[in-house]
């Protein structure tokens, strides 16, 4: 009952405001002591203004020390069980950037979600867990476009000492960032759908989380409007709690027969 009211309330809220507020809150340099807590969304703690630790960075860091990050797994697990991937849709600054760039009016490219989950689980397993344990280095961070945008570029801009360290590896990371930024204009949330390891962790809880979508199949007229507005390109009436669903509630807002609650 409480959750259905919450879902109904969410579908009335303008997500844009919450996303902007979260991006500012996570990067407002006001709660530096909170860096002992993993951020519930992908937000690089190397950002000069970051308030929280990046959970993916923390998992890799513990992997390099051959330790289990109990605290971080516990926090992500509690968030996942309660809200699933809602954090991706409402709180993630990098997701917000992707939503904004996709608003640019150009001919869009449709990419199938067929292998998206497996690619993300592969990134999580290989780059975030196995490779750091073996190489004792945080390899996902070395490739992460969110880290380049929120950490690398600001530090190069504000610190002349850091600027002298710019080399081919930095430009390699910038190239990855540019590829994703261009991709964000043409494809719906390419990083979230195909790469994000934090989204992969939250995906595991989408089927059991307290916040979940319900489609009334008797009401649904299968008009596909939900798929058209879905930032993750899901046909919601086929799988309302798909591992890709970020609980953005855009589908519920546009459903002409109010079949999604």
Partner 1 sequence: MKKRRVLLVVFALMIAVGLVLEEHLDILRYARSICLSCMGLE
Q: Which residues bind partner 1 (CB under 8 A)?
A: 32-33, 35-38, 45-46, 50, 52-54, 57-58, 61-62, 69-75, 77-78, 81-82, 137-138, 141-142, 147-148, 151-152, 155-156, 162, 165-167, 169-174, 205, 208-210
Q: Please state the closest distance from residue 238 (CB atom) to partner 1, in A.
A: 23
Distance between CA atoms of residues 228 and 17, nearest Å: 22
Task: Count other C-beta atoms under 10 Å from residue 33's C-beta.
Answer: 7
Q: Please state the closest distance from residue 228 (CB atom) to partner 1, in A.
A: 32
Distance between CA atoms of residues 254 and 261, nearest Å: 12
- Count Cα neighbours of 24 within 13 Å in the Cβ-side half-sphere: 6
Nearer to partner 1, 17 or 70 (CB): 70
Q: Closest Cα partner for 199 from 101, 109, 89, 115?
A: 89
Nearer to partner 1, 78 or 125 (CB): 78
Nearer to partner 1, 38 or 199 (CB): 38
Q: Closest Cα partner for 39 from 211, 156, 202, 193?
A: 202
Cα dihedral 89→92→98→99 (10° resolution): 40
Nearer to partner 1, 57 or 190 (CB): 57
Q: Please state the closest distance from residue 167 (CB atom) to partner 1, in A.
A: 7
- Count Cα neighbours of 206 within 13 Å in the Cβ-side half-sphere: 25
Nearer to partner 1, 195 or 251 (CB): 195
Nearer to partner 1, 75 or 235 (CB): 75
Distance between CA atoms of residues 248 and 92, nearest Å: 11
Structure tokens at 95: 């997701």
Nearer to partner 1, 119 or 162 (CB): 162
Q: Please state the closest distance from residue 166 (CB atom) to partner 1, in A.
A: 7
Distance between CA atoms of residues 97 and 238, nearest Å: 28
Q: Please state the closest distance from residue 202 (CB atom) to partner 1, in A.
A: 13
Q: Which residues have CB under 8 Å from 138's CB, separation 6+?
A: 57, 60, 61, 64, 132
Distance between CA atoms of residues 137 and 57, nearest Å: 10
Q: Please state the closest distance from residue 81 (CB atom) to partner 1, in A.
A: 5
């Amino acid at each position: 009952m409480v959750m259905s009211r919450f879902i109904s309330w969410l579908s009335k809220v303008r997500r844009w405001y919450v996303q902007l507020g979260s991006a500012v809150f996570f990067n407002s340099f006001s709660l530096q002591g909170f860096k002992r807590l993993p951020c519930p969304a992908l937000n690089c703690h190397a950002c000069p203004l970051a308030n929280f630790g990046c959970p993916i960075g923390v998992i890799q860091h513990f992997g390099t020390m051959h330790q289990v990050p109990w605290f971080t797994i516990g926090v992500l697990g509690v968030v996942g069980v309660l809200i699933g991937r809602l954090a991706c849709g409402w709180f993630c600054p990098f997701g917000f950037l992707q939503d904004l760039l996709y608003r640019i009016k150009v001919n869009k490219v449709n990419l199938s979600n067929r292998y998206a989950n497996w690619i993300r689980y592969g990134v999580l397993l290989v780059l975030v867990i196995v490779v750091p344990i073996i190489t004792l280095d945080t390899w996902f961070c070395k490739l992460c476009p969110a880290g380049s945008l929120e950490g690398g570029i600001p530090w190069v801009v504000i610190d002349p000492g850091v600027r002298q360290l710019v080399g081919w590896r930095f430009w390699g990371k910038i190239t990855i960032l540019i590829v994703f930024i261009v991709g964000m204009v043409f494809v719906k949330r390419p990083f979230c759908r195909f790469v994000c390891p934090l989204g992969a962790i939250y995906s595991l809880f989408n089927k059991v989380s307290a916040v979940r979508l319900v489609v009334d199949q008797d009401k649904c007229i299968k008009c596909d409007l939900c798929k058209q507005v879905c930032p993750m390109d899901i046909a919601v009436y086929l799988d309302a709690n798909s591992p890709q669903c970020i609980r953005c509630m855009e589908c519920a807002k546009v459903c002409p027969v109010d079949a999604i609650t």
